[in-house]
A and B are shown apart, each in its own frame.
Chain A
Amino acid sequence: MSGFFGFDAALPERRAADQSDRGFHQSQTDQMFTLPNAREEEDLAVYNWGDMGASLMEDGDDFNDETFGGSGPVDQDFQFAPQAAPVASQAPRASANQPRGPIASTASRYGPKKAFDPFAASEDDFYAARPTAKKPSKPAAKPKAQPAPSQGGSLESLWSKPAAPSPLWGATPSTTSQPPLEPRNSQTGPPPPGQIKSLEEIEAEMAGASVSEPPRGPTVVSLEEIERQMMSGSETQPIPLPAPPPREQTPVAPGLAGSGYATQQALLDSMFPELGAHPPSGQHTASFPPGVQGPPSEPSPQQREQMEALHRHISAKIESMSRYNNLMGTSDKDFITRIQLSQLATTDPYASDFYAQVFSALKRSRMPASAEGGDQSVVKISQNFGLGVSGPTGSRFGKMGSATMQKLSGQVKRLVENRALHQKHSNTAALQGALGRVSRGNTAAPRPVLAMPTTTRAEVRPVNQLNQQAGPRRQPLTRKQVMYALEELYDAMLELEQTRRDMPPPTAMEEVQRWNEACAVKVQVIWQRAMVMEPLDVSNPHPFISLMNAVKGQRLFPRLLRHLPEQQALTLLTLLVATYSQLDVVARAPPPPVADASLLTKADRVDRARREVETDNFLHCVVPGVDMLINQCKLGLVAGLLGILLQRSNVAQVASTRPGVALLTALLSRAQSLIRVPAPDPMNPQQVQVPDANELDQWNKTYAYLLQTLLPHLSDLFPSSIAQKAAFGPGAYLMSGAGDVRDGVEMERREAEVWGFAAALAVNAPEEEQTNLVGALRDKILHTVQAARDPSSTPERAQIKLRNVNMFLNGLGLDASMIE
């Protein structure tokens, strides 16, 4: 079949040549399909009633009632894929039942039977045969059309035959909304059920719309028009108005006998008798009673009345609905919400929504009054999917009630499951938009409305990410490797914390068992990733210390500690103490403050600030954990830790840093609290744990060693001393006195840490060592007390100074007031 949208695209002269050497079959098909040529060639407004009517028919009206709220409660549940299915499945069925070419014109629809009928089945067919016979450029086509009435014998079949297929058409309710005010439409059969408008149809519709108007004008009244008038006036009259039931009519058409069409009709009728015996009465068939196909004046007055009323009703309805055009209805909003919700669904609602979850948990814990049972933080969509919902005040989705939420989540669940089911294996969803560009997709690979995250992402490891070295000594981790390791640790940590939160009820023994095991496995993973068990000397700094050097790692420390079993926590502590000097905050402690910050370069300032921040962070995150661990140790272990520290690092250097001071103070005070066993408490006999002699002995030895090592440097540990030493030039004079008040107070606070350490040393020291201790700090004590009494120092600072000194002196049973 040639043609573009039904038009013959071939040039006229070539067309003629073509036809000469075509076989019988081909010319037959040409006759069937070249109808549009007639219009094209004649350059006239030719109105082909069969053609236009078919295309003007609206279809796809099956769900009009549903759409416009005509039939009962509308189902809110939009199953889009299933809804599309019937259309797709109907079309093939219709075409299978009715062998035909392009559906645009009735010519093609009735085409096949022409092989058996010597007469034209319809005007279409009649005219379709014309162009093949005549010269294309003839302007006076009207006389040619004249023979139509002369073949009056065919008129009988002309009017009756379109009625024949009506049993089949009767199967569709699509005739309902046919506007009866356009009687022209009723001249032809309705489209096959479920027929999707093809391009040809649309084109024909447009052509028909433009063509149908001119004939009304007084100038261009085509002969066909006149002839139709005549036919409708005279010849069709004899046909009885109430058409015979289609079933009886089918065998009447003699031309159809033996044709595939007829047999199919018969088959269909036998299969669906109730459809075939379709009564011509009632609204549904009003527009297409079998016998009313012909002239416009056919419908009876009351039928017309009915149809008009119906049409008015429908247009009024549409009119009233049109106020809401371009506005979103509830169902539209729900649809959007569903899509949005399904986008939120993740495999791990806690981790991917971590901060909101934690925030809401905190909020809820602060509002005990609103602790209702229904406080749920995650909607489980399916086994692996869920979305976080809880906000601090009930629903995170604002005004939507929980009932709506439930309903929506059900629908989202189905949406997500459906999507996950049909997700292609080669999923690029993870990469889409990864670089900020949102891909549009194309026809070959349409962009999915809903891209489900794939749970399994292939791991791609760049080689340089690995520390490939083996052996007892390796290069320390690079910064990038540290970051990788930390991200992994965080991932594992989030997983573990999530598992912990999902604790099954304590009654379900088996589940608790399984849960415990799962937690243990995850802890083990974390333990490995923390690299604590790497040999102590594997690198400098040790891999674990590398992790702790990053601020991120320091923040992780307390969380890590919470999950580790006691033994592993102690191992961790030992490692940390043993490699304490490798810590950035110790090895590269922030330098003492200078009197005048303007002396520093910008890079210096930034560097100082960064180190200060790291130190603060370390003291804030790591040291409390260390304190806690130390406070669980027995004396032997404390002595051991101190021993390791003394052995593996330069204690003077460690002690001159704030983290070092904090660690030493913690060790000393723990030892002291163990040695000085309080008077046995009758209420709490468990507390009475006299450290055995061995441990005590070991401790005393270690302590003696510490004191001996530290005593010469003791007065140099104070920040003020360090600052004094570092200062030079005029800065040295500025140091002692009236600097910035805030800096001064801060300095005193830091001094206090060291005074506290000195006090811890003092209380642990035996009598004779106490004298040495005071001797070593004598200058410092005197200096501080004098500075406190100096009228030039601010009262606040003086007070702190005195308190600091007293902290130490009181440990020895002395007081600053005793000093002249």
Chain B
Amino acid sequence: MDHAAAAQISEPLDLVKLALGERVFIKLRGDRTLTGTLHAYDAHMNLVMSQVEESVHIVDVTDAGQPLPPRVERRNVEMLFVRGDSVILISPAQQ
């Protein structure tokens, strides 16, 4: 199975290539996470994803300054372009 290993890995993003067409978990700045199918990426980690579920983690603060328990707001997006400068982490979605 040696020839299975001939894939060219010479930079970190070559690993992201393996996730193309797969469901991935993306962590973004601003307390956001995405789960969806990765279709394309580039050197800036701009991403194109489909069937995305975005979760925004919010901590509300009362008038008195007391933080309320964190809540999560979700929305689904069919097709999404993610600008690379907000990407923190890309990982294969947990199976």
Residues of A bordering B, CB below 8 Å: 430-431, 433-436, 457-462, 465-467, 474, 477, 479-481, 483-485, 487-488, 528-529, 531, 534, 543, 550-552, 555, 610
Contact of B1 among A462, A534, A550, A551 (CB under 8 A): A534
Contact of B11 among A430, A474, A485, A550 (CB under 8 A): A430
Distance in angstroms from A584 CB to nearest chain B CB is 11
Given contacts A477-B4, A479-B92, A488-B6, 17 further A-B contacts (CB under 8 A): A434-B43, A435-B12, A436-B44, A436-B45, A461-B9, A465-B5, A465-B7, A465-B9, A466-B4, A466-B5, A481-B1, A483-B19, A484-B7, A485-B7, A488-B3, A543-B1, A552-B22
Known: A433-B44, A480-B18, A487-B7. A466 touches B85 (CB 8 A): no
**Complex CA–CA separation, A462 to B10 (angstroms):** 10
B2 within 8 A of A: yes
- Give the top 9 A-B pairs by smallest Cβ distance, nearest first: A483-B18, A484-B7, A485-B4, A466-B5, A467-B1, A552-B21, A465-B5, A433-B43, A434-B11
**Complex CA–CA separation, A458 to B23 (angstroms):** 29
B residues near A534, Cβ cutoff 8 Å: 1
B17 within 8 A of A: yes
B residues near A480, Cβ cutoff 8 Å: 18
**Complex CA–CA separation, A462 to B11 (angstroms):** 12
Distance in angstroms from A734 CB to nearest chain B CB is 28
Contact between chains at B7 and A488 (CB < 8 Å):
yes
Chain B CB within 10 Å — which of A480, A484, A485 has the most? A484
Contact of A457 among B4, B10, B21, B44 (CB under 8 A): B10
**Complex CA–CA separation, A477 to B2 (angstroms):** 12
Contact between chains at A481 and B9 (CB < 8 Å):
no
**Complex CA–CA separation, A481 to B18 (angstroms):** 9
B62 within 8 A of A: no
B13 within 8 A of A: yes
Among residues of A, the one whose C-beta sits closest to the C-beta of B35 is A606
Kindly state the interface size class of chain B when it binds its partner. 20 to 34
Binary contact readout B1-45 vs A (1 if CB under 8 angstroms, 0 otherwise): 111111111111100011111110000000000000000000111
**Complex CA–CA separation, A406 to B17 (angstroms):** 35
**Per DSSP, are chain B's interface residues mostly helix, strand or loop, or mixed?**
loop
Among residues of B, the one whose C-beta sits closest to the C-beta of A462 is B9
Contact between chains at A488 and B4 (CB < 8 Å):
yes
Among residues of B, the one whose C-beta sits closest to the C-beta of A457 is B10
Residues of B bordering A, CB below 8 Å: 1-13, 17-23, 43-45, 84-85, 87, 92, 95
Chain A CB within 10 Å — which of B5, B18, B19 has the most? B5
B residues near A488, Cβ cutoff 8 Å: 3-4, 6-7
Contact between chains at B4 and A531 (CB < 8 Å):
yes
**Complex CA–CA separation, A334 to B20 (angstroms):** 36
Contact between chains at B5 and A484 (CB < 8 Å):
yes
**Complex CA–CA separation, A234 to B9 (angstroms):** 85
Contact between chains at B8 and A457 (CB < 8 Å):
yes
A residues near B13, Cβ cutoff 8 Å: 434
Contact between chains at A458 and B10 (CB < 8 Å):
yes
Contact of B4 among A436, A462, A479, A529 (CB under 8 A): A529
B residues near A433, Cβ cutoff 8 Å: 43-44
A-B contact pairs, 6 of them (CB 8 A): A434-B11, A434-B13, A459-B6, A466-B2, A467-B4, A529-B3
A residues near B4, Cβ cutoff 8 Å: 466-467, 477, 481, 484-485, 488, 529, 531, 543
Distance in angstroms from A588 CB to nearest chain B CB is 12
**Complex CA–CA separation, A488 to B5 (angstroms):** 8
Contact of A551 among B10, B11, B21 (CB under 8 A): B21
Distance in angstroms from B17 CB to nearest chain A CB is 6
Among residues of B, the one whose C-beta sits closest to the C-beta of A543 is B1
Contact between chains at B11 and A466 (CB < 8 Å):
no
Known: A436-B84, A487-B18, A552-B22. A431 touches B11 (CB 8 A): yes
A residues near B12, Cβ cutoff 8 Å: 434-435
Contact of A481 among B5, B22, B44 (CB under 8 A): B5
**Complex CA–CA separation, A365 to B88 (angstroms):** 42
Chain A CB within 10 Å — which of B2, B8, B13 has the most? B8
A residues near B10, Cβ cutoff 8 Å: 430, 457-460
A residues near B18, Cβ cutoff 8 Å: 480, 483-484, 487
**Complex CA–CA separation, A474 to B92 (angstroms):** 25
B residues near A610, Cβ cutoff 8 Å: 23
**Complex CA–CA separation, A529 to B84 (angstroms):** 33
B residues near A552, Cβ cutoff 8 Å: 20-22
A residues near B11, Cβ cutoff 8 Å: 430-431, 434
B residues near A484, Cβ cutoff 8 Å: 4-5, 7, 18
Among residues of A, the one whose C-beta sits closest to the C-beta of B6 is A488
Contact between chains at A436 and B5 (CB < 8 Å):
no
Contact between chains at A466 and B1 (CB < 8 Å):
yes
**Complex CA–CA separation, A465 to B6 (angstroms):** 9
Distance in angstroms from A523 CB to nearest chain B CB is 14
